[in-house]
Every structure is written in structure tokens, then in C-alpha cells.
Amino acid sequence: MPGGPGVSPEMTDSKRIAIVPPRYGDDVVGGSEAVMREAAHGLAGRGWEVEVLTTCVRDHYTWANDYPEGVFTADGVTVRRFPTVHDTNRSARDAVERRIQLGLPVTAEEELAWVNGYFRVPGLFHHLVAEADSYRAIIVSPYLFWTTVVGATASPERTIVVPCLHDETYAYLSVFRPVLARSAQVWFLSEPEHQLAHRLGPLAPDHRVVGSGVPVPTSYDPDGFRARHGLGSRPYVLYAGRRERGKGWDDLLAGYTRAVIGGGLDLDLVSVGVGEVIPPPEVAGRVIDLGFLSNDEIGNAFAAAVAYLQPSPNESFSRTVMESWLAGTPVIAAAASAVVAWHCQRSGAGLVYADEAELAECLALAAEAPEALRRLAERGREYVLANYTWGAVLDRMEAGLEELA
């Protein structure tokens, strides 16, 4: 197909794209990272020439260079890893961080210093500047990191931003406004995220909700999972993800403790993911940390649980909710997340709670009437299969790529 005025046919027909996440790998825990990894392999499977440009980082707590620098291929995707560079004195950045978290004003210069203070990847940026014209599109995600803020400036006219926005203090910083307003396209994972972006400021005229795909397991092994991890016969509720305050982990521990001790519920709490697990002493024997699990084993963890707990207020899609519904497991979620509450209302498949007392009621229902909750999960599985299979999401992504001139 010929290009428009001033656009070469070679560039219009190019199927070479760059995907730029801050971290990449099968052992990297993070929702946006999973979306970008699976999109890369899905698009490669549809004939796109995909290059992942990323860092040598595995751990988002230290941002240390754990992976080797260089180029390798995996399942048709070329991965180029560049080392991160860190400031030796982080006290200034930490001071700005505290002010941002408190919602206090910071200057534009302080915002830039804060973005640079986590890490920089000069080699990746130099590669983008030198090679930008060879890519049909440069897809950057998520909004919060140097790789997106700086990477989007290399060639805005061919940059697609997948911001993964949360309604948090960071999203209101001015440093992110050009990323959303001046890029060629913006792809959102849910309608509430899209509406949040409009409230934050100007958006690129070409923006759309593409959603996120979720792999559909062919089978589950809940009994084998329990046996492999020594979980015994007591029912458990599951948390999967990063054990961090910002993801609602601390509030979940407090609410679970209140429900178990005050209500005498016969439920364990099993957690998988990254981050420290330090339960209150009175429930220390009931909170079980299984650490990092493979994707297949995580699916089994969902299937064996009586309910999945999603306490995070900061979600742009919430992949784990979809994984739970696919496994036939009900979801109990914090109402503070507009995105998760939207999924639960739209599907009619989840329970939401506003405080610890309501969480305790939901946990009591999971303990005493698990079959009633599992009937809700059946609706959830139908919802996921109707909206969030990778086939449907890749169709929407490809439509955006084809329209990019």
C-alpha cells in the first residue's frame, strides 16, 4: 500500500517495531512487564519484526544490573539489554520522593532530577536516536520510568505509550504531560484508566483502549499444587504480586488478621510474588509465603484457593483478577481501585470491600459459603474469554500499528 504525502512506502509498510519496558524476563514480576512481554511474543507470532529494548535489571527495588548486557533472541523476539547508570548520591532524589508522596509541590527541575535519580539508560536512548527511522513504532511502557519519559522523546511521531496509569500522586507530575500529549498514540488497558488520563491533562488525539490479553491455561492441578507446597487441607485465600504498601499488602495483612483473630475464620493466607512478608505474630503460622512461582504454577495456586484477594488501589488493568476468574476462583477486591471495581461491576463476578469490616465479611463468606462465590467466578471466566484473550487484544494493537503513519 503506498504511503501518504511525504511518507515513503518502505516506512509505511515496515513491520519492524521496538518495545521498550524498564525490565524484561520470565522471572520479572510486574503487570505492565507481563503485558509488554506477551505482546512482544504475540506480535512476533503474527509476523512483526519485534525488538525489545530494555535494561539489565531484574529487581525493581535495587535497579541493579543483574542480567548480562548484549543481544539475544527468544521465540522470534530480539532482546537488546543495556546497563543502567545510577547516581551515587540519592539523598536529593529521596527528599523529592517524600514530597511527591505527600502531595507537596515540586519544581519541574526537581521532577526531572527525581526521574533521573532512579536510573538512566544512556545506551538505550542512543540506540533509539540512531535507529528510530528503522522502526514503524516504538512502544514504551509504563509511564513512571526513565525508559518511557526519555525514550518517548527520541521519535515522538512514531512512539506509542502504554502508560498503565494509576490514580496516584506521581501521575499528576508535569514531567509526564508531554509523554501523553505529544506521542503518536496512547494505548490504555481499561476504560477507567482512559478516563483518568483525560482528567490529568491533554492527550494525543489518537488514543484508544486496547485492553490486555491474559493467557488461558489448558488445565489446572489444584490438588497437586497443595501437595507440592505442603499446604495441607485447610482452605486458603491467595494474594499474588508485589508485597508493597502501595499495592495494598499492609492493609490486607491487617484486615486478614482482624478477620481471623476476631472472627475465628479457618482460612490461611498464601502469598506468591516478590517483597518481604512479615505477618503480625498472632497469625504468623497462618500466612504462607511461597515466593516466586512459574506461570503454570501460579495458575494452580489460583485454582486451589477459595478466593483471590486484590487489595491494590493502584491498578490499570489487574491481570491477576483475570487469572483468578479463569481458574474458577472468586475475587474479593478493594473498592479503592476504580479499575478493579469496574471489572467486578461490569462482569457481575466479584465482591468489593470498602474497609476492614467489609473485608472480614467477605472472608467469612469465602470460608462458610465457598460454592456460592464460585458461581460468581463462572461469570468472571465468561467475561475474560469475551474481552481479554490475546487474540482479541492483538487485533486491536495491530489496528493501531497499521494506522500509524
**Is the per-residue pLDDT at 9 higher than 60?**
no
Assess contact for 360 and 254: CB atoms under 8 A: no
HSE-CB of 114 using CA atoms within 13 angstroms: 20
**Is the per-residue pLDDT at 284 higher than 70?**
yes
Number of helices and strands (H, E) in the chain?
16, 14
The predicted-structure confidence for 202-256, as pLDDT tens digits, reads as follows 999 999 999 999 999 999 999 999 999 999 889 999 999 889 888 899 999 999 9
Q: In the structure, what pLDDT confidence band is assigned to residue 23 with cuts at 50, 70 and 90?
A: very high
| Domains in the chain: boundaries | 9-213+389-403, 222-387
Reduced to 3 states (helix: H, G, I; strand: E, B; else coil), residue 85 is: strand
Q: In the structure, what pLDDT confidence band is assigned to residue 88 with cuts at 50, 70 and 90?
A: low
Given this model, what pLDDT does residue 11 score? Answer: 46
Indicate the CATH number for domain 9-213+389-403.
Answer: 3.40.50.2000
Q: In the structure, what pLDDT confidence band is assigned to residue 117 with cuts at 50, 70 and 90?
A: confident
CB burial class (10 A; 0-12, 13-18, 19+) of residue 323?
buried
CB burial class (10 A; 0-12, 13-18, 19+) of residue 96?
buried
DSSP state of 155: -
CA distance 253 to 30: 20
**Is the per-residue pLDDT at 107 higher than 50?**
yes
Given this model, what pLDDT does residue 4 score? Answer: 35
CA terminus-to-terminus distance, the chain? 12
Per 3-state DSSP, the chain is made up of helix, strand and coil in percentages (nearest 5) of: 45, 20, 35
CATH of 222-387, one of 3.40.50.720, 3.40.50.2000, 3.20.20.70, 3.30.420.40: 3.40.50.2000
Given this model, what pLDDT does residue 371 score? Answer: 86
DSSP state of 314: -
